[in-house]
Amino acid sequence: MDFKVLAVGDVVGTPGLERVRRNLRRLKRRWGADFVVVNGENASAVGITPNQAQDILDAGADVITLGNHTWSKREIVPYMDDCSRILRPANYAPQVPGRGWAVYPTAAGDVAVIDLIGRCGMDYGPDNPFLLIDKILKQVQAKIVLVEIHAEATSEKLAMGYMLDGRISALWGTHTHVPTADARVLPKGTGYVTDLGMTGPRDSVLGIRPELSIAKFRGDLPERYRWAEGPTKMEAVLFNIDSATGLCRKAERVDEWD
């Protein structure tokens, strides 16, 4: 029996949240998804609040993942300790709040979700995700194992995918907000895509008003980023996983644009 996992790209600002509220359950029904993981770390443009996290869960997400903006809204800290359905990168320092991975019961058995952050070009030094993931997997008994790596470098995501090929069910990348065209099953049976993309303003630079990004690259006076208005999009990948083996049969993009 196939177990279908829908992985949804980074939700950006109020437009992204509205898109999730209006469309996630419909998208879930359309593709018959059994389990949904949404990256929510940009729900406030940078960071996420407890109310925003609850909105995403209420809209149909089973798990919310975060990344380099995890701590941008400090009010999320107690919520992360209380709610097992929101994950921050597992390779953050061990003394920080929250959890980096968890196991969730489903009709197809336990599903493990692990959140990692890359180190290339991320401006700081979290623990090595390539070493940490081996330690985590030794503790995981679930047949279905899903891994997100929130990373800048495509090479880092690809390397992680090939290292884990055949050992996990699916791995996807987030962070760049630009969808990649390489959704596929790796040679040993792990579903893979380098980047999911984003959920939010369609006519934007990574969700932000284009003129603000242009001004930054021109060297103009800095201005607070604001998300773009207008049509929106939701970019996601659907993984069909064999619940008996835990390996992926198919990975396909299921993007929707206004």
CA proximity to 235, closest of 209, 255, 249, 216: 255
Could you give the angle at which helices 50-58 and 13-31 cross, rounded to 10 degrees? 20
69 part of the active site: yes
Residues in the chain: 258
Positive or negative torsion for Cα 113, 193, 25, 77: positive
Residues ≥6 apart with Cβ < 8 Å to 227:
12, 13, 14, 15, 16, 45, 200, 201, 204, 207, 208, 209
How many angstroms separate the CA atoms of 14 and 134, rounded? 37
CB 206 within 8 A of CB 228: no
Q: What is the CA radius of gyration of the chain?
A: 17
State which amino acid sits at residue 169: S
Distance CA 41, CA 142 (A): 26
> Tokens 């992204």 map to which residue?
16
Q: Is the sign of the CA dihedral 166, 167, 168, 170 positive or negative?
A: negative
Give the catalytic positions in this structure. 69
